Amino acid sequence: MDLKEKIDPDKLPKHIAIIMDGNGRWAKSRGEMRVFGHQNGVESVRQTSTAAAELGVKFLTLYAFSTENWKRPKCEVDALMNLLVLTLNSELGTLMENNIRLRAIGDLTHLQPGCYSQLMETMEKTSNNNRMDLVLALNYSGRWEIAEAARRIAVEVAAGKLDPESINPDTFKEYLETREIPDPELLIRTSGENRVSNFLLWQIAYSELYFSAKLWPDFRKDDLYEAIIDYQNRERRFGMISEQIKQVTDK
């Protein structure tokens, strides 16, 4: 029985988020420049996106560039931006063939102009696709997103458009980048690092965390299947006790 067949389609996570990590180490271990790792990470993006779409996952969010990544050497930042432009262009066919809609979260207007326009173009071209949303987190961090939501709320309160008493977790969510996207049930991080690194801090409150030892350029469809099988074998209690969960699922 192959791994894919072990996945229960009725217990599929609707949203999977991935911290793609280990590109630099992958390249270094081969005596290559870090950018070589990023270039090889594109195949992992392709495999993971198509595998998720084929399974019936509705949202796949990839941490492609954090607000902290600007601190990397300029040549690496430039190479990553160039790679993004090239990949968005070259992968349009894959997105269309697999009926995947491209979306993005983050402070997009501060991306390099060429990257921003290519992103907008690819999002527009794929906007009618409806099998899965591939969400790229670009110039994104969880703390930035939460602070930005608080700022937008403050502006509305100051303008008399929002009653402060009406603010609760449900209304707060409406000001997040992910307001139209359900929270991820599963968060995967590659490369053996056990951290969440400022990714989707609000949204992962109840996510199952899965850490893979694989470096991102080595991550393939079977690695995604393994993560989903592991997730499906866990009991998600949301603050309740085991017996209560069984009552809810037996109904």
Least distance in angstroms from the C-beta of 192 to ligand FPP: 10
Q: Residues interacting with ligand FPP, by CB under 6 A?
A: 20-25, 38, 41-42, 45, 62, 64, 69, 83-84, 87, 136, 191, 216
Contact 221, 206 (CB under 8 A): no
Complex with ligand FPP: residue 13 or 41, whichever CB lies closer: 41
Question: Which residue carries 């997105």 as its tokens?
Answer: 95
The question of whether 69 is a catalytic residue gets the answer yes
Annotated catalytic residue, options 8, 23, 69, 194: 69
Annotated catalytic residue, options 21, 133, 183, 223: 21
The question of whether 230 is a catalytic residue gets the answer no
Pairing mode, strands 59-66 and 132-140: parallel
Least distance in angstroms from the C-beta of 183 to ligand FPP: 21
Complex with ligand FPP: residue 3 or 42, whichever CB lies closer: 42
**How is 138-198 classified by DSSP, letter by letter?**
EEE-HHHHHHHHHHHHHHHHHTTSS-GGG-SHHHHHTTSTTTTSPPPSEEEE-TT----TT
Query: Which tokens belong to 125?
Result: 């071209």
Cβ–Cβ contacts within 10 Å for residue 223, how many? 21
Complex with ligand FPP: residue 50 or 69, whichever CB lies closer: 69
Catalytic residue numbers read 21, 69
